[in-house]
Each structure stands twice: as C-alpha cells, then as structure tokens.
Amino acid sequence: MKKQLIIISALLFSVLGFSQGIEFENGTWKEVIEKAKQTNKPIFIDVYTSWCSPCKKMSKDIFPLAEVGKEYNANFICYQIDAEKGDGIAIAKKYEVMSYPTYLFIKADGTLFSRAVGSMVAERFIAVSKIAIADMNDPKPLLEWEKEYITKKNDPAFLLDYINKLFKLGKPIKQLFDEYLALLPKDQRVSDKIIEIYRKESRNITINSLAFKNLEDNKTLFFPRLGGYVYVFMIGAIDNSFREACKTKNEILLQQVVDANEKLPKTRESKIKEEFYMNYYKKTNNLDKYIINATIYCDASLMKISSDSIEKTDKEMLQSFENTQMKGLVGKIDSTQISELRAYMTHATRNKYSIALNTVAWDFFLMVTDTKSLENALRWSKRSLEIYPNNHIYLDTNANLLYKLGRKEEAIVKESEALDFAKNAKYDTKVYVETLEKMKAGTKTWK
C-alpha cells in the first residue's frame, strides 16, 4: 500500500510539477539580472505590447505548453516585458526592438547574444531556444567579428558569415549586403543564398542600395522563386526611402522615390506620385504644397473611382481569396484568421477609398482656413459617405467641416447622426458628445 502511494505521489508530482509552461519571473528587471548572476543562467525575454495579436497568441497557445516550458525553464531565467511600460521602454530601446513579439536572449552581464521575432509553432519556438544556446556558446563574440571585418571586408565568405551572425542578433546588414553583392559576379547575385538574405533583410533595403538595383535588374530571374515578393521587397525599399526623405526633408530623394515607384507594375494598391508628394509635404509641414497636392490626389484619383467599380473590385478580390482558400493556398492559419481575412477582403476597396478621402478631408478641417479648400474637403467627405454610408467617423468629419464653413444647423444634424451610429456600434461616444455640445454652444471644434 505504501509503495502504491509513493508511485501515485510520483505520478502526481510529474503531472503537476512538470506539465506547466514557461515560468516567467514577476520581479523587476534589476532583480531578474541579479537572479541570472546567482544561477549562472542567461535570460530569455518576451517583449510584447498590449495591442499585439501575435503576442497574445504566443502567450495563450505556446508559452503554456509543457514541452516549451521544459526547454525554456531549464535553460533560461524567463521574463516578460511590455515595450511601452516601465522597464520595458528602456529595454526595448537598448536592444533596438522594432517589432512584436521580439524574443531577446541576454547574458547576465546584459550582453545580447541572440534574438528572434514573431509568433510561431511550438516546434519552431523550441528550435529558437536551441539556436540561442548555440549562439551563447559561440567562442567568437561580435567584437571579434567587427575587428576581423577591417582586414577581411573583401572576402565574400567572411562577409556571408558576418551577415548571418548579425541576423542572429537582429542587427541591420544593409551596408554589408551591398558590399557582399559587389564582390559577387553578376550571375551569382540571384542565388538561393542571396534570396535568403532578401527574405531576412527586406525591411531595411532602400532605393539607392545595390540590393535594390539587383532586384530591379534581375526581376525576371528572381520571379520564378520569389513570385510577387520581388515587388513586395521593392515597394518596401521605396517606403523606407520615402520615410528617410521626409525625415531629412530631402526633395531630391523624394523625386527618386517617385521615379522608382513609377517603374513598378501598376496594381490596385499602387501609389500615385501625388500621393507621395501630398504625404511628404504634410510630414514636412509645408501647408501650401500639401493643399495643392492633396487636392490633385483626391480630384484626379480618388474621386474618379465609381461605386460600381469599387463593388466589382471587392467581389473579385473576395472570389480570388475564396478560390485560394479552397485550393489550400492560404497556409496554416486557423478559422478565426480566415474569417478575419474574408471580412477584410469583402470590403477592402471600399475601405481603402473611403478612408483615404476621409483622412484628407479631416486634415483639411484641422489645418486649412480658406473657404475654397474647405468646400473641396466637404466634397471629399460626402464622397466617403457615399462609398461607406452611415460610418460614424466619416459623419463626424462631415459635421465638423459643415460647422467650420458656418453651416451650424446642418452640422448639428450630422454630428447627431454620428453620435447615434457610434452608440449602435458600441463605440466610445465621449468625443462626439463634446463636439455636439460645442456646436450647439457656438464654440470652436478645432484648435
């Protein structure tokens, strides 16, 4: 009997003691560092945000798994931080966290030795741990790579190894990638190794890089293996360069961005040059040029699209999605994600054009004062409501424009409609209530 009790106790201990998932520390970052030093174990950090869906999926479905807990609890002091709160803000900044979730692997002295990004299945997440442990035990630290680079920068094999090392640490390799490509014969610039680098580095490519020119020059060679991602990477580079142009107020780079964009195949999602100009002058606070280009963008592009065309395009997109899903080409995603994608495809074009029109109309309400520009914004606002009727956000924009134009009674009617539809949508109505009160009192609704 006693022996049976021992066996039962052992089984219970096994189930209760070892079936849990990752055990995350509850203390401060300073306490976690101290524990890592005492136990001589590295630290695993899950960096998340409250609004990140993949983060929530990992916390709900992957971290609680016994096999995951067994791997991570044995090898790391585990910790979770919100990148937008408390210690998380400084940690995310120090380790250059750019997307969520990001997994950091750090020694007790604060040295980052590996990282990974994104939601993944348990098998892959366990593999990430094993890769990190191998990286930690790498006898060649980053400092040695940096010193060796000075003498081996013309060695393609070394550069490739250095690039892969930086990938593991989540560091950009833009300059190295260009240097590596420059050392290769042109016929080797479309190899499987190069494609793998593009897949990992695409978010950092810019239009004035050799990496972009290589994509541009070899589109037809890349396409059989990369498909539409060739253009996804190129569009990403254009967007990166556009952000840089805005940041540095560089109109020469802006024009290069526009020229590069003009060379791409035109699709439903393509941007036109006026859209780039409009957004550039908005971000660089040049109101006069913003008004000119926003007006051209809306009247020459957005206002030209008919409701029938929008409806037809949405039906085609939805049918294409359904065909893809039926063929099993969507990939390994759950039913909830499929439903979300289907809902998006159902009204993707409607949403695109109505959002664009409403955004510019609202910007004009906030920023411009001349009657002609406000009347233009009111036309765009009305069109957004024709495309997407009874949208409380668009109704609010329309009401505010009417009010700024001195059409108080009409504005009150529209803002009341916005309030009613917001209530039906269970949307926070506080702003609408305050706006309506200001309109009735005859006070400004804008700053």
Number of neighbours of residue 432 by Cβ within 10 angstroms: 24
In this prediction, residue 201 carries a pLDDT of 86
Least confident of 112-116, 155-159, 289-293: 112-116
Domains (ranges, CATH) in the chain?
16-136 (3.40.30.10), 142-265 (no CATH), 302-441 (1.25.40.10)
Distance CA 366, CA 428 (A): 21
What value does the mean pLDDT of the chain take? 89
DSSP H or E segment with residue 45: strand 43-48
Lowest mean pLDDT among 65-74, 114-123, 210-219, 386-395: 114-123
Peptide bond into 101 cis (omega under 30): yes
pLDDT for 279 beyond 90: yes
- Residue whose C-alpha is closest to residue 258's, from 275, 244, 246: 275
Asked whether residue 8 carries a pLDDT value surpassing 70, the answer given is no
pTM above 0.75, yes or no: no
Identify the DSSP state of 370: -
Cβ–Cβ < 8 Å for 218, 190: yes
Q: Which pLDDT score is estimated for 320?
A: 78
285-339 pLDDT, tens per residue?
Answer: 999 999 999 999 999 999 998 989 989 988 888 887 777 665 554 454 566 667 7
Asked if 211 contacts 182 with a C-beta cutoff of 8 angstroms, the reply is: no
pLDDT in tens, 359-409: 999 999 999 999 999 999 999 999 999 999 999 999 999 999 999 999 999
> Count of CB atoms within 10 A of residue 360's CB?
25
Name the band, by pLDDT with cuts 50, 70 and 90, for residue 261.
very high
For 4, 5, 65, 199, 291, the CA distances from 126, given in Å and listed in that order, are: 35, 35, 11, 22, 53
Q: What totals of helices (H) and strands (E) does the chain contain, helices first? A: 23, 4
